[in-house]
Amino acid sequence: MHALIVVAHHDPQSLTHSVAAQVAAGLTAAGHTVEIADLAAEGFDPRYTAADHAVHRTRATPPADVRAEQARIDRADALVLAFPIYWWSLPGLLKGWIDRVFINGWAIEYSPDTPVVKKLRHLNVHLLALGAADDDAFDRHGYAQAMRTQIDYGIFDYCGAQVLTSALLLDSESGGAQAHLEKAWAVGQGLFDVETVAG
């Protein structure tokens, strides 16, 4: 099977990139294929423009870069997002990728006169979010649940995609890095196992 790993970090030496590489290594070790989409290195433009708005409102043809990203997802049996947590959410680069790529007519079917049709029911998603704060900070302030609400449900469930892994890899700047790399490899190794569960 084939997975698309989308990594959203400007520094190729970052822990985020290392986590993505470990997921890829686990997938390869399990006999699967993988493509890594490095949004920063590839220069993906996250800005939602009038052209993007026209796609949503009038079903205009999506820009070429959006169609290329959709084709990458369409080729994949699973989507993995590896990203740093910025201000308790997705970084702007990744949020812009979602805003522009997960569009009306492709991810959902929507008009003011009809209910939303979820078009990505075939897509399994795995989220690996890296943060510097510890579990206590995320739990104490409700950030962990807020992230799951806005990302797992607000984005992916809204499109019909199933989030199978939703992992907060926290305390990443003070000793958790090795454990995160091991978790990433295990996620990759078991990505297509039927018993893969959220956690």
Q: Give the pLDDT score at 114.
A: 87
For each of the domains in the chain, give its residue range(s) and CATH number, in order of start. Answer: 2-14+37-190 (3.40.50.360)
Cα→Cα distances 192→57, 76, 134, Å: 36, 12, 29
Which residue from 27, 37, 126 is spatially nearest to 75, judged by alpha carbons? 37
Q: What is the pLDDT along the chain (199 residues), one digit of tens a residue?
A: 999 999 999 999 999 999 999 999 999 999 999 999 999 999 999 999 999 999 988 889 999 999 999 999 999 999 999 999 999 999 999 999 999 999 999 999 988 888 999 999 999 999 999 999 888 989 998 999 999 999 999 999 999 999 999 999 999 887 779 999 999 999 999 999 954 444 4
Whole-number pLDDT of residue 198: 46
Instruction: Check residue 195 and give its pLDDT.
Output: 44
